[in-house]
C-alpha cells in the first residue's frame, strides 16, 4: 500500500466536491466516474483540474500523486487524514501549515520538494530507476513493481521463482538454496538469554554483518542517493551516503527532524548488542512481533522491567509503556508520530544542562526538566546515565565553543562509541581545521566502517597538498564507491601532484564516478553547483560555467550558482 493506482478501493479521501482552503487557495476534490481529480493552483498560480494518478501511503495519512509534463509526478501538499473521526481524522489538511508556498517555492506541490521521481519513488516502489535526461529536462522513471514488494528486500526473484516450481520434497533434497539474492538470515538459529548472575541479556551468537539493517536502511534512513541501480543486498554506501548526527538531530542524538530510524538505531545499545530490525518488527505484516511491552520482554525480564517498581507509573497506563520512556515519539507530517529508535534511557538532567527534550516532560507538559531529573534521582538511587555519551561534545560543537575540537576528537577516537557516532564526530570536526583534527583524521582513515573513512576524508578539505595526498590517495582504491568519490573530490585541486600512473588512473576512475553521481542527481540544481566547483578545481572553466548555468536554469534564484559564475569571470580575467 506504499503506492497504488488511484481507483475505488484504494482512494481513502473524500472526492465528493469537498472543498479545502489554505493560504487563500480553495481546492476542490471531485470524481468523474471512477477517476479522481483535484482543482487547485498549478505552476502558473491559476486553478486547474488535475487527475489523481496514484495514492501514496495509507495510514495515518494518505497523499496523492499527479502526473505533470516531462514525466514528473508530484505529491499534493494537501493530504487525507485517515484516522478515525474521534481522533481528529477523516478530513483534508495541509502538510505545509505555516508556510505560504507560492508556485515558484520549493515547498509548493509542483516544486522540487514534492517531486516523486527524486524524493519519494525510491522508497515507495520496487527497483526504481530515476532516468533523468538533462538535455530535455525530462524524467523517464521506471520501476519493477508499483509498490514495495518482495524484491525490494530480497533482490531479483527469478532464481527463487524457479526454485519454487519444484515439489517441496525435491527442494529439501536437491536445492536447499532457495535462490534469494538477498537472504536475510542473521536471526536464523539465534536466541537471546539472560545471565543469571548479572541479569544482562545477550545474543547466543554475535551478529557478524549489518546485512538486514542495511537492506532496511535503503528506505529507513536519512541519506543522499549517489548512484542508480541499487538492488537489495548491495553495499549501502555504494549507492547511498547516510546523514550523520548533526542538524537533523539534537546534540544527544535524539531525532529532531525526520531521520527515518536508521541513524537513531545505529547509536543505540540494542544495535551494539546485536539486535536487528526484524527482532522487533515482522517485515511481512508491518506489525510488531508481539504487542506492546511484550516485544521488549522477548529479551528483557518482565518481572524486573514491566512493573511499577521500574517504570513508576500506573500499571497498564500510557506511562507504563516501554516505548513511552525509551522510544518517545515525535509527530511529523502534521499527524504522523514516529518513535525514536535510539532506544535510550531518559535523561531529563540533559534537558536542564543542554536544552534537549526528554520523555518525561514530553508527557508531563506542565512540568520542567528539573522536576523530572529530581524524580529520577529519587526513583533510581544509582541511575544509569545511558549508552549515548557524546551529548556534551556535540552540544559544545553546536554552541561553537573553543573546547569543541578536543572533545569531538576524543569521541571520534573512542572505540567504545558506536561507529556511527564516531563518524558523526569526524564529520563535525571538518569545521574545525587544525592539527588535532588532522591527527584524528589520520587515526581513523583506515577504519573498517566506510562512513568513518569518508568522514575522516572530509576533515582534510582544510589542509594543504601533502596532507590531502596522504589521506586521500589510499582511498582512491577503496572498496566502497562513496569513499572513492570522496577521495576524488578532495584530490581534485591537487590531482596533478599524483606520483604514479596507478594513482592517476585510480583518480580518473574515481573522478568519473563522482561526476556520474552528480549527473544522476542532475534534476537538482545543487548537483550542478557541486559539479561546477569540481570542474573549477580541475581548471576546467568551460565545463564549470556550463554547470553553474544549468543550476541557474533549474533555480534562477540560487546564490551559490551566481557566486560560481562570478568566480569564473574572475578566474578568466586574471590578476589585475
Residues 307 and 408 occupy one common structural domain: no
Q: Label the pairing between strands 138-139 and 281-282.
A: unpaired
Strand, coil or helix: 47:
strand
pLDDT above 90 covers a percentage of the chain that reads 84
Last residue of a domain, one of 289, 314, 345: 345
Q: What is the mean pLDDT of residues 519-542?
A: 96
Of 379, 329, 230, 219, the C-alpha closest to 283 is 219
- The verdict on 331 and 256 lying in the same domain is yes
At residue 575, does pLDDT exceed 80? no
Mean pLDDT of all residues in 331-360: 96
Going by their DSSP bridges, the two strands 91-94 and 78-81 should be labelled as antiparallel
Mean pLDDT of 346-370: 96
For residue 221, is it within any domain? yes
As separate numbers, helices (DSSP H) first and strands (DSSP E) second, the chain gives 25, 19
Query: Under a CB-based contact definition with an 8 Å cutoff, are residues 310 and 293 in contact?
Result: no
**Is 117 in the same domain as 204?**
no
pLDDT band at residue 344 under the 50/70/90 scheme: very high
Statement to judge: residues 239 and 111 lie in one domain: no
Q: Is residue 480 part of a domain?
A: no
Distance from the first to the final alpha carbon of the chain: 63
Q: Does 205 lie in the same domain as 312?
A: yes
Higher-scoring residue by pLDDT: 106, 302 = 302
What is the tally of structural domains in the chain? 3
User: Phi, psi (5° rounding) for residue 86?
Assistant: -70, -5
Do both 133 and 76 map to the same domain?
A: yes
Last residue of a domain, one of 148, 173, 205: 148
My answer on whether 56 and 112 are in the same domain is yes
- Name the domain boundary from 423, 446, 469: 446
Whole domain around residue 426: which residue ranges?
389-446
Judge whether 534 lies within some domain: no
Q: Is residue 465 in some structural domain?
A: no
- Kindly report the average pLDDT of the chain as a whole number: 94
- SS3 for 550? helix
Long-range contacts of 410-413 (CB under 8 A, 24+ apart): 412/440, 412/444, 413/440, 413/443, 413/444
Q: Does any domain span residue 210?
A: yes
| DSSP output for 217-268 | HTTSS-EEE--S---TTS-GGGTEEE--SSTTB-TTS-B-S--TTHHHHTTS
Mean pLDDT in residue range 165-178: 75
Whether 401 shows a pLDDT value over 90: the answer reads: yes
User: Minimum mean pLDDT among 175-179, 298-302, 379-383: which range?
Assistant: 175-179
Q: How far is Cα 478 from Cα 15, in angstroms, rounded to an integer?
A: 54
Q: Report pLDDT for 180.
A: 87
* C-alpha torsion sign, points 169, 175, 179, 180: positive
Kindly report each contact of residues 199-204 with a partner whose C-beta sits within 8 Å and lies 24 or more positions away, as own/partner. 199/301, 199/304, 201/273, 201/299, 201/300, 202/273, 203/273, 203/274, 203/275
- Looking at the fold, whether 339 and 396 belong to one and the same domain comes out as no
The dihedral through the CA atoms of 147, 31, 8, 19 has a sign that is: positive
Q: Is the pLDDT of residue 287 over 80?
A: yes
For helices 435-444 and 419-429, give the axis angle rounded to 10 degrees: 150
pLDDT at 199 over 80: no
Structural domain includes residue 474: no
SS3 state of residue 81 = strand
On whether both 19 and 132 belong to a single domain, the answer is: yes
Q: Is residue 246 part of a domain?
A: yes
Q: Which residues contact 311 (CB under 8 A, 6 or more apart)?
A: 305, 319, 320, 322, 325
Residue 90 CB partners (closer than 8 Å, separation 6+):
14, 81, 82, 83, 84
Q: What pLDDT is attached to residue 576?
A: 61
In a domain, 98, yes or no: yes
Query: Which residues contact residue 548 at a Cβ distance below 8 angstroms, ignoring those fewer than 6 apart?
Result: 528, 529, 532, 561, 562, 564, 565, 568
The three-state secondary structure class of 30 is: strand
Residues 19 and 100 in one domain: yes
Residues 227 and 293 in one domain: yes
Contact 276, 190 (CB under 8 A): no
Same domain, 428 and 286: no
Residue 106 has pLDDT above 90, yes or no: no
Query: Where does the pLDDT of residue 415 fall: very low under 50, low under 70, confident under 90, or very high at 90 and above?
Result: very high
**C-alpha span between 397 and 252 (Å, rounded):** 12
CA-CA distance, 62 to 456, in Å (whole number)?
41
Helix (H) or strand (E) holding 407: helix 404-412
| Paired residues of 63 in beta bridges | 56
**Preceding omega of 355 cis (within 30 degrees of 0):** no
What pLDDT, in 10s, does the model give residues 240-283?
A: 999 999 999 999 999 999 999 999 999 999 999 999 999 999 99
422 pLDDT band, cuts 50/70/90, is very high
The answer to whether the pTM exceeds 0.75 is yes
Q: Average pLDDT, stretch 194-209?
A: 83
**Cβ atoms of 451 and 423 closer than 8 Å:** yes
Has residue 98 got a pLDDT over 90?
no
Q: Tell me: the pLDDT tens digits for 23-36? A: 889 999 999 999 99
**Rounded-to-integer distance, Cα 422 and Cα 453, Å:** 10
Amino acid at each position: 500500500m506504499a503506492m497504488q493506482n488511484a481507483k475505488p478501493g484504494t482512494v481513502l479521501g473524500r472526492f465528493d466536491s469537498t472543498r479545502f482552503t489554505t493560504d487563500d487557495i480553495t481546492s476542490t476534490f471531485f470524481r468523474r466516474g471512477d477517476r479522481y481529480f483535484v482543482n487547485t493552483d498549478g505552476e502558473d498560480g491559476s486553478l486547474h483540474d488535475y487527475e489523481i494518478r496514484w495514492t501514496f501511503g495509507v495510514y495515518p495519512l494518505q497523499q496523492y500523486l499527479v502526473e505533470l509534463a516531462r514525466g514528473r509526478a508530484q505529491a499534493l501538499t494537501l493530504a487525507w487524514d485517515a484516522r478515525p473521526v474521534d481522533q481528529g481524522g477523516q478530513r483534508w489538511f495541509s502538510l505545509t501549515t505555516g508556510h505560504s508556498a507560492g508556485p515558484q517555492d520549493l515547498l509548493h506541490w509542483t516544486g522540487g520538494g514534492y517531486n516523486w521521481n527524486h524524493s519519494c519513488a525510491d522508497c515507495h516502489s520496487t527497483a526504481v530507476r530515476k532516468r533523468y535526461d538533462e538535455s530535455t529536462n525530462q524524467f523517464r522513471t521506471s520501476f519493477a513493481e508499483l509498490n514495495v514488494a518482495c524484491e525490494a528486500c530480497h533482490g531479483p526473484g527469478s532464481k527463487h521463482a524457479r526454485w519454487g516450481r519444484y515439489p517441496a520434497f525435491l527442494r529439501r533434497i536437491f536445492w536447499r538454496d532457495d535462490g534469494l539474492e538477498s537472504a536475510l538470515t542473521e536471526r536464523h538459529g539465534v536466541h537471546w538469554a539472560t545471565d543469571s548472575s548479572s541479569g544482562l541479556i545477550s545474543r547466543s551468537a554475535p551478529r557478524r554483518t549489518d546485512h538486514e539493517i542495511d537492506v532496511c536502511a535503503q528506505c529507513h534512513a536519512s541519506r543522499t542517493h549517489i548512484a542508480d541501480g541499487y538492488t537489495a543486498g548491495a553495499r549501502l554506501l555504494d549507492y547511498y551516503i547516510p546523514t550523520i548526527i548533526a542538524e537533523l538531530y539534537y546534540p544527544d542524538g535524539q531525532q529532531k527532524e525526520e531521520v527515518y530510524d536508521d541513524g537513531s538505531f545505529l547509536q543505540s545499545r540494542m544495535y551494539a548488542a546485536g539486535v536487528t530490525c526484524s527482532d522487533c518488527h515482522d517485515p511481512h505484516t508491518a506489525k510488531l512481533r508481539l504487542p506492546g511491552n511484550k516485544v521488549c520482554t522477548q529479551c528483557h525480564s518482565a518481572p524486573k522491567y514491566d512493573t511499577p517498581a521500574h517504570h513508576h507509573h500506573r500499571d497498564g497506563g500510557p506511562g507504563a509503556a516501554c516505548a513511552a520512556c525509551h522510544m518517545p515519539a515525535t509527530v511529523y507530517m502534521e499527524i504522523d508520530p514516529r518513535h525514536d529508535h535510539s532506544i535510550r534511557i531518559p535523561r531529563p538532567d540533559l534537558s536542564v544542562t543542554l536544552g534537549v527534550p526528554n520523555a518525561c516532560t514530553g508527557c508531563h507538559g506542565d512540568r520542567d526538566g528539573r522536576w523530572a531529573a529530581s524524580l529520577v534521582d529519587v526513583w533510581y538511587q544509582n541511575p544509569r546515565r545511558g549508552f549515548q555519551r557524546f551529548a556534551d561534545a556535540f552540544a559544545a560543537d553546536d554552541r561553537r565553543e573553543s573546547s569543541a575540537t578536543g572533545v569531538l576528537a576524543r569521541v571520534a577516537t573512542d572505540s567504545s562509541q558506536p561507529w556511527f557516532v564516531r563518524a558523526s564526530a569526524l564529520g563535525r570536526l571538518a569545521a574545525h581545521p587544525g592539527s588535532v583534527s588532522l591527527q584524528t583524521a589520520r587515526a581513523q582513515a583506515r577504519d573498517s566502517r566506510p562512513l568513518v573513512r569518508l568522514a575522516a576524508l572530509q576533515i582534510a578539505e582544510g589542509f594543504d597538498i601533502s596532507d590531502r595526498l596522504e589521506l586521500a590517495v589510499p582511498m582512491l582504491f577503496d572498496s566502497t564507491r562513496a569513499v572513492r568519490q570522496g577521495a576524488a573530490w578532495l584530490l581534485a585541486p591537487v590531482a596533478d601532484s599524483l606520483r604514479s600512473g596507478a594513482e592517476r588512473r585510480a583518480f580518473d576512475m574515481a573522478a568519473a564516478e563522482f561526476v556520474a553521481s552528480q549527473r544522476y542527481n542532475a534534476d537538482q540544481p545543487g548537483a550542478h553547483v557541486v559539479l561546477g566547483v569540481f570542474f573549477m578545481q580541475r581548471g576546467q572553466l568551460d565545463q564549470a560555467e556550463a554547470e553553474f548555468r544549468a543550476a541557474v536554469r533549474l533555480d534562477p534564484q540560487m546564490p551559490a550558482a551566481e557566486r560560481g559564475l562570478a568566480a569564473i569571470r574572475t578566474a578568466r580575467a586574471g590578476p589585475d
